[in-house]
Structure 1
Amino acid sequence: MPEFSDTIINLFDGLKKRQATGEGGLLTGSDPSAFDVSDPLRLWIIQVGVIIMLDQLLSLGLGRMKQPKVIAEVLGGILLGPTAFGRIPGFTQHIFPSQSLPYLSLVANIGLCLFLFIVGLEIDASVIKRNARMSAIVSLAGMALPFGLGSALSVPLYHHFIDPSVQFTHFMLFTGVAYSITAFPVLCRILTELKLLDTTVGIVVLSAGVGNDVVGWTLLALSVALVNAGSGLTALWVLLTCVAFTIFLLLVVKRVMLWLARATGSTDDGPTMFYMTVVMILLWACAFFTDIVGVNAIFGAFLAGIIVPREGGLAIALTEKLEDMVTIIFLPLYFTLSGLNTNLGLLDDGITWAFTIAIACLAFLGKFGGCTIASRLSGFSWREASTIGSLMSCKGLVELIVLNVGLSAGVLSPKVFSMFVLEALTLTFMTTPLVRALYPPERRVIATSGGAPPKTRDDEGGDLDADKKSLINEEQPWRYRFTLVLDKLEHMPCMMALTQLIRPPVPDFSSVVPMSAASDPAPLKYRRPEVSINALRLIELSDRASAVMKSSTADTLIHTDPLLGIFRMFGELNDLPVSSSLAIVPHDDLACNVVDHAKQDASQLILLPWLPPCASIAETSEGATLRREKFDHNPFEVIFGTSRDKSASAIHSQFVRGVFAQSETDVALFVDPGNHLNTGAKTGGSYHIFLPFFGGPDDRLALEFVVQLCTNPRISATVVKMEKREIENMQIERPSTAHSDVKVDTNSLALAHQQGLTISSIIAFPDTVYGQTNTQMRMQSETADSIIWSRYAGRNLSDVNTTGLLRAALSRIDFTNLASPVPLHAAIQRASMCQRVLVVTGRSKRLAVEDHHAELKDLVEEHRAVGHEVMSKTIGDVATAFVVSGCPSAVVVLQAANVEMH
C-alpha cells in the first residue's frame, strides 16, 4: 500500500514545516510582538489585550460620572492612535504596525455587522406604532433641520479641507447624515439609567429615536450607493434593488422566520441550535447581498435584525447570546480603528478649531432646536421640550460608524474625520448632565394610559397617604398595604411564607360605635380596609444590551415574567389581591427604587427576603452543622473602590441594608435559614411565634406586628421581655394572665468557647447611619417601651374598650419576663422549647437597650459560624444570634420607619 505510506509521510512533512514556522518564541530571544504574516494571531492577542484593558480603566472613571461606556471606548481608541500613545517612539510600530491593520479591520468589521444586527433586534416597530402621533413630528424635525444645517456647513468645509476630486454632493450627503443621525442604542441606555422610560418624555424620545434610526440608516445606504455608483442611473438601480430586497425581507422572509421560530419552539423556550444557525446564515447572507450590490454590508446586517420575530422575547434571547462577545471584543476593536484614524494633532490652527467648534455647535443646535420646537408645538412644556431636544442630540457610536464609512469611501479627509469625531464625543458626553439639570426627578411627568391626567412623581400617592393614616392607630396598629420585593427565584419561598402569615382576618370596623360628640377625646372613625399587596419585580440593569431591551419592553415583560406569574397565581389561590410592578434599574439604585416605590404606593410595610451567608446546612455523622461559604476577593476591586463580596447572600445584603438605611416606611425582612431540620413540627398550618422584646422602636414595631399576626386563629405567640441581669437562677415571672411558672437552669446556658477560630470581615460596606441619639431620645424610647408593653401585656381582656379582634389576638399571646446574664442564649433556648416556631425580632440598630456584641461573639465562636459580621450589620445582633446558633426556624426582622422617633 505505497499510496497510504506516501500520504502519511507527506502529512508528517507538513507538520514539520508548520512546526518550523512556529519556532522563535520568547525563550529564544525573539520579539513576541513581531508581526508574522503567516501567523498573525500572536500580535492580534496583544492588540486585543491592550485595547480591552485601556477601555476598562477608562470606563471605571467615566462610569462614576454616569457616562455611557461608548465614551470610554472612543477615548481609548483616540488615545491609542497618533493623538497620544502613537507619539511614543516605537509604540505604533510594535503594537499596531500597518501590516497588521487589515487583520484587525477584518475582525472589527465582523463585529460591526454583529453589532448592527443587535441594533436591528432592538428596533421594535410596535413602539413606533403606539406613539406614532406624538413622535412623528419630533423625529422629522430632528432630522430635517440638522440635515439642512449640515448641508449648509458642508460648503465652507468642502472648500477648505476636502480634495476637489471628491464630488461635493457626496460630501454634503455624508455631512447631512452625520448631523441628522441619533445614537439609538446609547439613547436607550441613557433613558434607562435616568429612569425616564416611564415618563412622557422618555416614550416620545424612544419612539422618535427608533424612527430616526431607521431613516438614518436608509440615508446612509443611499449615500454609499451614490459614492460607489459610477453614474446616477447606476445609483438608482442600486437603490431600487435595496428597496426590493428590503420589501422581500419584510413581507416574505420575516413571516418564514416567525413560522420557523414557532415550529422549532424557539418562541417558548428560547432559540434552538437549529434556529440560531438559520439566523446566523440569514445575517451573513443579507450582509453579503447588500455589499455586492454596492451598499455597505452593515446595512444588510441591520435588516436581518429587524426581521427577527419579537414574539416570546426571542429577540432578547438572541441578543443575550451574542452581546457579550460583541461588546467586550469586537466593538472596542472597531473604536480603536477609528482612533488610529483620528489624529487630534491635525487640529493645529485657528481656522481648524473654529470649524470644529462650529461643527459641534451647529450639530447641537440643529438637533436641540428642531426637536425642542417640535415638542413645544406638540404640547409639551419648555422644560420637557428642551429635555427631548437634549436627548435627541446624543450621537454616540452611530455617527462614528457613519464617519468611518465616509472615511473608507474617501469622502472625508483625516482632518475632517477628526473634527467630526470630536464633535460626536462632545455631544454624547454632555447629554447625561444636561438632561439631569433640565429634567430633575421632581419635575418628571409619569405617562398614564386611558387618557388619565398625568402626574408628577411628587403627586403620586397623596390620597393613599391619607388612607394609610386612617388605617393605623395606636389602639389597633393593623397594616394592610404591603410592598413585596421579588428579585430571584430562590427568594420566592420566603415571600410566599411571609405573605401567608400577614393575611389575618380583616377587622370589621363597622362594629365600632362612635361616642357622643361631647365625649373627649373623640374616637377615630374607621372604614373597612382592604388588604393590598404590590409585588415589585426587580431586575438589575447591567451593561448588556438585552437589559436595555427589557427596559423598553417593560410594559409587556410585566405580563410574561415568570416570578410575577408565580406570585400572581399564589395570590389567586389564597384569595389575595396582588398587583404587579416591574423595575429595571442599576444595582446601586435597587434600594432607592424600592423605597421610592413604597412611598409612591403609600405602603405601610416593605417585605424583603434574604438568605444569610451561613444558611447552608450540611448533614454529617455528628449531626447538622453549618456549611461555610467560601468568599473570594479581587484585590483590584479594593483599589478602585468596588469591593463586593461575590456570594449572592452578601451582595443581596448590600441591597437590604440600603433599603433599611433609606426607607421612610416600616420594613420586614424574612430571613430563611435554608434548612429543614425541624422535622418534629406539627402539621395543619398552625404556627407559633417567639418574640424576644429588648426595647427600642424596632422591637415596638415587632410587638405590634406579632399582635396583628395573632389575629389569625391559627397563629399563637410567646412574647418574652428580656432583661440582662447578673443573678444565679433565672426565673420567668408571668403577669396575671400566666398559667404557670417555668424555671430555667442556667447551667444549660454555659458558654462553650472554641479556640483557634478566626472570624474575618466579609464585605466592607458602611453600616446603616442614623441621627445622633441623646439622653432625651433614649428616655423617650424607654418610656414608649413601657407604654406599649403595658398596653398589650397588662391589658385586661374583659375591658369593654378592647375590641373583639384585639381581644382574640391577645388571648393567643403568652407574655412573660426573663432575666439572664446571657439574654441571647436564654432567648435561643426559650425559642427551642416551641415547635413550628417563627422568630420575630427588631433589628435594634438604634436606640437599643442592650449591647449584645460580646455575647454574639461568644455564640459565633461556639457554633463556628462564618459571615456573622455581614449578618450583624444587616439584621442586627439578636436575629444574628438565632441564625448562627443553627436555629431551624425562620426569622422575621423588623425595622421601624427611619425617623428619629417611632
Structure 2
Amino acid sequence: MSCKGLVELIVLNIGLQAKILGTRVFTIFVVMALITTFATTPLTSALYPPWYQRKLQAWKRGEIDWESGAPLRNGDSSFEEDRHQQKRGPSEIRSLLIYLRLDNIFDAETNNILYRIQVHGVRIVQLTARTTSVMTVSEVGELSAFDPVLNAFRVLGQLYNLAVSGEVAVVPEDSYAETLTTRASEEFSDLLLLPWTETGSLSESPMVSKNTIEQKLRSDAYSRFIAEALETSNCTTAVFINKAFSGSLEQSPLALTRRILAKSGRGARRDPITELPTLDRSHHIFMPFFGGADAQAAVHLALQLAENPEITVTIVHYQIRVEISSSDDAITTRRIPEGKIRVRSSCDKTVTGDDDDFFVATQHALPDALRPRVTFRTIISYDPVQDAVADAQTEVGQNLGNGGDIIMLGRNVELVETQISSCLGLVADVMLEKDVKASIVVVQARKE
C-alpha cells in the first residue's frame, strides 16, 4: 500500500459507510495511516543516511567492496576516506553530468583520462501549456530512446569507449536549473558541466544569425539560468563558453547574402562544402590563479585534463604588490588607478597563506609525467586582472591550427571588490570583453 495512505482512507470510508467497520476500528486505522505517512520520510532518512546511499550506489556500480569499503579499481583509499574527500571537493573528476544542447555540442577527443569517467547526459525539452507538451511528458521513455541528440551522445561514447548514459527531461523553462542540479545530486556527480548558449537564449533554435552571436553573452534569460544553477548546485560546476574549440578560429559568415545563380533547378550543381579534420589535436590551457576554493577546484580540473599528452597547461598565481602592509589602507596608498578591478584574495593573510601553500604543494605533488607539459609561475602586480588578460592574449590563440585553447578560471565572485553582481565572475567578464581567442571554462567549487 502507498505510504501516503490515500487508498487506505478510501477503503476505510467505504467500509464505514457500508457499516462493515465500526467507528472505533475506523478511527484506529485512520490514526495508523496518518502516523505511517508522516513517519516514512524521517525513518527512511534515519535508516538510509546519505553516506550509506552513496556506498550502496558505489557497490552496485562495482566500484567498492561491500565489507571493507575498499575500491576495486583506481586508488587505495577506503570508502570513508573517499567520502571525506568528497566533502572537501574531489581532486579527480570521476562522474560527470553534462547538459546536452542542440546548439552546443563540441568535439570530444579520445584520451586515457576519459576511460575512467562516467558521463551522464541530460537533454531538456521545454514543457509548455499546450496539449502536445503534456503528451510529451507521458512519452519521456520513448524520447530518451529515440532523441537524436541523446543517441549521438551515446554513439560518441561507444566510439571512444566511454561509460555514458543519458535521459530526456520534460520540464518548464523555469525549472531547467533545478532539474540539472537535482539530477547531479542524485547521480552523485563530481562535476556538472553547463555549456553556454549559441543562440542567445534558452531556446535551441538552429537559426544562428549575426545578431544572436553578438548577443549570446548578454542573454538575460540564460544568465539567470546559469546563475541559478551555480547557486543551487552542490557539486563542482563548470560553465563552458565555446570559442573555436573545434580547431579553427576563422569566423563563419554571419549574414546571408544574395547571389544570382546562372543555373537553377533540379539539374543545378552545388559546390560541396568540405571541412577537413583537424590534424593537430593539441590544446593549451591557461589558468590565472587568484586564490580561493573555486580557483583551487579549477587547478585540479586543469591538471586532470593535462593527463592527456596532447594538452599543455600554464598556471599563473597573481598577487597584489604592497610595500609594507597588506591592509586596505596600504593598497589605497598605492593609488591603484580608478576603474581597476581589486582582488582582495592577496590582502587577507589567512586566505593568502592557504592559497600560497596550495600553490606550492600542488607544484611539489605534480607527477613526473606531467612536469614537461605543466608550467607554474607567480607574478606580483598592482593590477593582476589586467595583467592576466595581457598574459592570456600571448598564451592562447597562437597556434591557429590546433584543436583550440582554453582559459580556465575560478568563479570567485566573493574575491572581487565590487557591488555589481556577475553571473560568471568579473574576471571572466573581462576576458570575454577583450575577446581573447580561446574558449573559457569558469569553475565553481563544491559547496560544503
Give me the TM-score of the superposition, normalised by structure 1.
Answer: 0.34
Change (3 A) 1:878 1:670: same
Q: Are 1:819 and 2:380 matched, yes or no? A: yes
C-alpha separation in 1, matches of 2:353 and 2:104: 38
User: Secondary structure of the equivalent of 1:807?
Assistant: coil
| Structure 2 counterpart of 1:560, from 146, 159, 166 | 146
Shift of 1:696: 0.5
Shift of 1:828: 1.9
Change (3 A) 1:718 1:386: farther
C-alpha offsets along residues 749-777 of structure 1, whole Å, 9 cap, x if unaligned?
Answer: xx9x9xxxxxxxxxxxxxxxxxxxxx9xx
Residue 92 of structure 2: aligned partner: 478
Change (3 A) 1:599 1:626: closer
Residue 603 of structure 1: aligned partner: 189
User: Secondary structure of the equivalent of 2:298?
Assistant: helix
Shift of 1:698: 0.2
Query: Which AA in structure 2 matches 1:381?
Result: C
Shift of 1:811: 3.5
| Structure 2 counterpart of 1:546, from 132, 143, 151 | 132
Residue 411 of structure 2: aligned partner: 843
C-alpha separation in 2, matches of 1:605 and 1:464: 17
Query: Which AA in structure 2 matches 1:489?
Result: L
C-alpha separation in 2, matches of 1:475 and 1:550: 37
C-alpha separation in 1, matches of 2:433 and 2:214: 11
User: Secondary structure of the equivalent of 1:782?
Assistant: helix
User: Secondary structure of the equivalent of 1:597?
Assistant: helix
Residue 707 of structure 1: aligned partner: 303
Q: Are 1:876 and 2:425 matched, yes or no? A: yes
Give me the TM-score of the superposition, normalised by structure 2.
Answer: 0.64
C-alpha separation in 1, matches of 2:369 and 2:390: 28
Query: Which AA in structure 2 matches 1:845?
Result: V
Contact 2:190–2:236 under 8 Å retained in 1: yes
Query: Which AA in structure 1 matches 2:82?
Result: S
Residue 789 of structure 1: aligned partner: 359
| Structure 2 counterpart of 1:505, from 92, 103, 113 | 113
Change (3 A) 1:591 1:441: farther
Shift of 1:589: 2.2
Change (3 A) 1:712 1:629: closer
Matches for 1:686-835 after TM superposition, within 5 Å:
686-725=282-321, 781-793=351-363, 795=364, 806-834=367-395, 835=398
Change (3 A) 1:819 1:598: same
Contact 1:461–1:599 under 8 Å retained in 2: no
C-alpha separation in 2, matches of 1:387 and 1:807: 68
Q: Name stretches of at least 5 consecutive residues in structure 2 with no aligned partner.
A: 12-36, 64-78, 202-207, 252-277, 324-336, 340-344, 399-403
Shift of 1:779: 5.6
| Structure 2 counterpart of 1:668, from 223, 235, 238 | 238
Contact 2:89–2:445 under 8 Å retained in 1: no
Instruction: Identify which range, 601-610 or 784-793, moves more after superposition.
Output: 784-793
Query: Which AA in structure 1 matches 2:387?
Result: A
Change (3 A) 1:613 1:580: closer
C-alpha offsets along residues 293-318 of structure 1, whole Å, 9 cap, x if unaligned?
Answer: xxxxxxxxxxxxxxxxxxxxxxxxxx
Q: Are 1:653 and 2:196 matched, yes or no? A: no
C-alpha separation in 1, matches of 2:209 and 2:411: 24
C-alpha offsets along residues 860-888 of structure 1, whole Å, 9 cap, x if unaligned?
Answer: xxxxxxxxx7xx62211111111111112
C-alpha separation in 1, matches of 2:373 and 2:431: 23
Shift of 1:648: 9.1
Shift of 1:780: 5.1
Change (3 A) 1:878 1:707: same
C-alpha separation in 1, matches of 2:182 and 2:304: 26
Shift of 1:809: 2.5
Shift of 1:782: 3.3
Query: Which AA in structure 2 matches 1:808?
Result: A
C-alpha separation in 2, matches of 1:787 and 1:387: 63
Change (3 A) 1:626 1:606: closer
Change (3 A) 1:700 1:617: farther
User: Secondary structure of the equivalent of 2:105?
Assistant: helix
Change (3 A) 1:677 1:885: farther
Shift of 1:824: 2.3
Determine which structure has the larger strand proportion and give its number: 2
Change (3 A) 1:652 1:843: same
Q: Relative CO higher for 1 or 2, CA cutoff 8 Å, sep ≥ 6?
A: 2
Q: Which has the larger radius of gyration?
A: 1
C-alpha separation in 2, matches of 1:482 and 1:664: 13
Contact 2:98–2:192 under 8 Å retained in 1: yes
Q: Are 1:570 and 2:156 matched, yes or no? A: yes
State the aligned residue count: 340
Q: Are 1:891 and 2:440 matched, yes or no? A: yes
Change (3 A) 1:542 1:712: same
Shift of 1:456: 12
Q: Are 1:678 and 2:249 matched, yes or no? A: yes
Contact 1:504–1:708 under 8 Å retained in 2: no
Q: Are 1:380 and 2:2 matched, yes or no? A: yes
Residue 463 of structure 1: aligned partner: 56
Query: Which AA in structure 2 matches 1:689?
Result: I
C-alpha separation in 2, matches of 1:589 and 1:476: 27
Q: Name stretches of at least 5 consecutive residues in structure 1 with no aligned partner.
A: 1-378, 390-437, 446-454, 507-528, 619-624, 631-646, 728-750, 754-774, 798-805, 855-868
Query: Which AA in structure 1 matches 2:7?
Result: A
Shift of 1:572: 1.6
User: Secondary structure of the equivalent of 1:381?
Assistant: coil
Shift of 1:716: 0.8
- Kindly report the root-mean-square deviation, in angstroms, between the aligned alpha carbons of the 2 structures: 4.3
Query: Which AA in structure 2 matches 1:597?
Result: R
Contact 2:198–2:212 under 8 Å retained in 1: no
Contact 1:460–1:600 under 8 Å retained in 2: no
User: Secondary structure of the equivalent of 1:879?
Assistant: helix
